[in-house]
Structure 1
C-alpha cells in the first residue's frame, strides 16, 4: 500500500498502514481532508495485508480543529460545510480495523474529535487536548459529545466541554484519554509498535473483538452529529458566536452577553 489521498499519504510497514495528513500550517480540518483520511482508512480495510493503522500528522499541531471563522473554512458560508464534514466523520467511525493515533501537539475541537476516532492514542508531552467550542459561543461537534464521555467518562467530558480547558498529555494519560506518553522523537515508533503488537494477532479475531467493543459506534456518532448540527445551526446566528470568533482570533476572553 503506497498511495496519496489528497492531503493524506499512505504506506505500509509490515501489516500496518501508516497514514499521515499534512495541511499546513496547523492541519485545520476540512471536508476534503476528512474524506481523504476516510478513503485511506477504508482502502486499508480492503487490503488483506493490512491489519491495523497508525494515523499521524505533519507539523507541530496534530490538528487545530475546523476553521469556523474564515470565509474559506468549514461553515464559512453558513452551516453548509458542517453536514458534509459530519458525513465523512461517520465514515471514519465505520472503519473495521484498529487505529492508533499519534498526537504530537494540539488536538483542538474537531482535532480532538479526530483523535477520538482511534482505538488508542499515543501522545508526546507537547500534546494538548481541547474541546474549546464554548469559548467560540458554539456547541461541540464531530460526535465529541458521544465519543469523549465514552473514553474518559461523562464527568471529565463535561468538565472539558464546559470549561474549554487545555488538558495536557500527562493529565490525559491519567484520565484514560491517552494510552501512553513518550518523548516526541519516539512518538511515531511507539505508535507503530502498538499497531504491530495488535497486528501480530489473528486478524479476523481482532476485527471481531473490536466490533464487539465498538458495537454500533458509527450509528451512534451519526445520531449525535445530527443533534450537534441542530444546536450549532442556531448558535451560529447568535451575537455570542460572533464575539467568540473575534475573541479567539484576538487571543482574549470573550465578552459574552447571552444573546
Structure 2
C-alpha cells in the first residue's frame, strides 16, 4: 500500500495504490488522512486532489479477509479505529476533488463522498452494496449520501445495493463532471486549480459554512453504523452475503 503526495502549484495531489482492488483498510485511510492533514497545514496548498492508481478507485473493505470493522477492532467502550480515521477525512478544511476512474464501492463510495466534487469517467461505478452483504452501511454513507443525491436516490442506492454508472451519476449530481478516461486526471486537476485561484481564506470560510457540522455528523453516524454492523455480523445472512459476493452470485438470504 502506498499513499503519496505531489504538488502542482497550490494543489496537493494525494494518490493511493493497493492493486488490484485498492481495498480500504485502516492503514490506507490513516495514510490518506495524514496526507490530508499535511496539506491542510501547508499555507501554500489551497485545494486537494484525491486519486488512485489502476482501474478501480476503491473496491471498499475486504470483509472476507481483513474486516476493519470486526468486533475485535476496538476495545470495549472505544470508537472503532477505522471509523475514527474515516471521520478525520471529513475534518479537512480545504476543498477536495476526487478523480473516480472505476468502481467506488462500499467504503470506496464513502471515500469518494469525502470530496466536495467528484470528476468521473464513464467507467466509474458507485455502489453502496451493503445490503447485498447482509450488512449495514458504514463510513458515514447513511448520512452523507443523501446530502449529495437527495433522500430518495440515496434510499434507492442503500436499499437495493444498485450500482450507478458514470452517466447516471452525472445526472444525479453524484459526479459533478463526466470526462473520457484519458482526460480524467487533467480534468480533475483543472477543477482543483480553478478552486485554488480563489482567495484562500474566503474559500475556506465559504466551504466551512456550506459543510456545516458534517465532520461531527459523520462521527455520530459512524458510531450508530458500527453498532448496527456488529450485530448484523453475527447473522447467517451476513456470512452468506460475504460468500455470495466472493463467489460472484446472488445471496440466498433467510432473514436469520
Structure 2 distance, partners of 1:216, 1:7, is 31
Structure 2 distance, partners of 1:223, 1:137, is 22
**1:120 paired residue among 112, 117, 131:** 117
Structure 2 distance, partners of 1:74, 1:212, is 32
CA contact (8 A) 1:28 1:67 kept: yes
| Partner of residue 41, structure 1 | 36
What TM-score do you get using the length of structure 1 for normalisation? 0.95
Structure 2 distance, partners of 1:130, 1:83, is 23
Q: Is residue 73 of structure 2 the alignment partner of residue 80 of structure 1?
A: yes
**1:58 paired residue among 53, 59, 67:** 53
| Partner of residue 242, structure 2 | 245
Q: Which runs of 4+ in 1 moved over 3 A?
A: none
Secondary structure of the residue that 2:80 maps to in structure 1?
helix
CA contact (8 A) 1:16 1:51 kept: yes
Unaligned 5+ segments in structure 1 are 1-5
- Once the two structures are TM-superposed, the CA of residue 24 in structure 1 deviates from its matched residue by 1.1
Structure 1 distance, partners of 2:87, 2:124, is 25
What TM-score do you get using the length of structure 2 for normalisation? 0.96
- Once the two structures are TM-superposed, the CA of residue 7 in structure 1 deviates from its matched residue by 1.7
CA RMSD of aligned residues (A): 1.1
| Partner of residue 166, structure 1 | 163
Q: Is residue 198 of structure 2 the alignment partner of residue 213 of structure 1?
A: no
Unaligned 5+ segments in structure 2 are none
- Once the two structures are TM-superposed, the CA of residue 79 in structure 1 deviates from its matched residue by 4.8
CA contact (8 A) 1:79 1:233 kept: no
Question: After superposition, where does 1:101-180 map in structure 2 within 5 Å?
Answer: 101-180=98-177
